Chain A
Amino acid sequence: EVQVVESGGGLVQPGRSLRLSCTTSGFSFGNFAMSWFRQAPGKGLEWVGFIRSEAYGGTREYAASVKGRFNISRDDSKSIAYLQMKSLRTEDTAVYYCTRDFTGGATAPSGYWGQGTLVTVSS
């Protein structure tokens, strides 16, 4: 059974950093791209970024709103994806979701989503 579980959320002050983890099981992690999405309270869904599999170069792409502040990485040996967030702003407050892609090349988010982890940026 495929499982995707986010962790690491919490309350953080503006300007500080936080790292989210996406722990997975039940599939060959190294063969798939992994994406992060977020949803601010009462708002719609927003794509944050993704990291392709090593077979596709392990390249990353980001939304303009987080580029230069957020970094996605992966540890294929542990089947974990990470979202390192720096210089956090109040507008980064959201539930963050991790998803597995259909392929290694990042073509579309699959049906495998985590339950989400809440990040609150506030002083």
Chain B
Amino acid sequence: DIQMTQSPSSLSASVGDRVTITCRASQSISSYLNWFQQKPGKAPKLLIYAESSLQRGVPSRFSGSGSGTDFTLTISSLQPEDFATYYCQQSYSTPWTFGQGTKVEIK
């Protein structure tokens, strides 16, 4: 199985900050990397698919980059509605696997 490791596990940031979350795969997954945002009690929301493609309706302050084994989700200017938990997920091979999540909290 491909292991996905996110860092950090949590972070505190202020509105307007630039936030970066990293995700490392245990082997190359090409660009089969997706990012989700989840708020308490809600279904995950797809933000980025195929490493860097912005899902329709997602604000442009979200961006994804990387390839192979190392990937990054960047929020260019954190907004109040962005406080949530973020997950990376690989769909390169089954079993599809997720990172453990990064909780973004208000500083």
A residues sitting closer than 8 Å to B (CB atoms) are: 35, 37, 44-47, 61, 63-64, 97, 102, 107-111, 113-116
* A107-B101 contact in complex given A102-B49, A114-B43, C-beta closer than 8 Å: no
The complex places the Cα of A110 from the Cα of B94 at a distance, in Å, of: 16
Size of B's binding interface in residues, CB under 8 A: 24
Question: Which residues on the B side are within 8 Å of A61 (C-beta)?
Answer: 94-95
- Given A47-B97, A111-B56, output 10 extra A-B contacts at Cβ < 8 Å: A44-B98, A44-B100, A45-B87, A64-B95, A97-B43, A109-B46, A110-B49, A111-B46, A113-B43, A113-B44
B residues sitting closer than 8 Å to A (CB atoms) are: 32, 34, 36, 38, 43-46, 49-50, 55-57, 87, 89, 91, 94-101
A sample of 25 inter-chain contacts (CB < 8 A) reads A37-B44, A44-B101, A45-B36, A45-B38, A45-B44, A45-B87, A45-B89, A45-B98, A45-B101, A46-B98, A61-B94, A61-B95, A63-B95, A102-B49, A107-B32, A107-B91, A108-B32, A108-B34, A109-B91, A110-B46, A111-B56, A113-B43, A113-B44, A114-B43, A116-B43
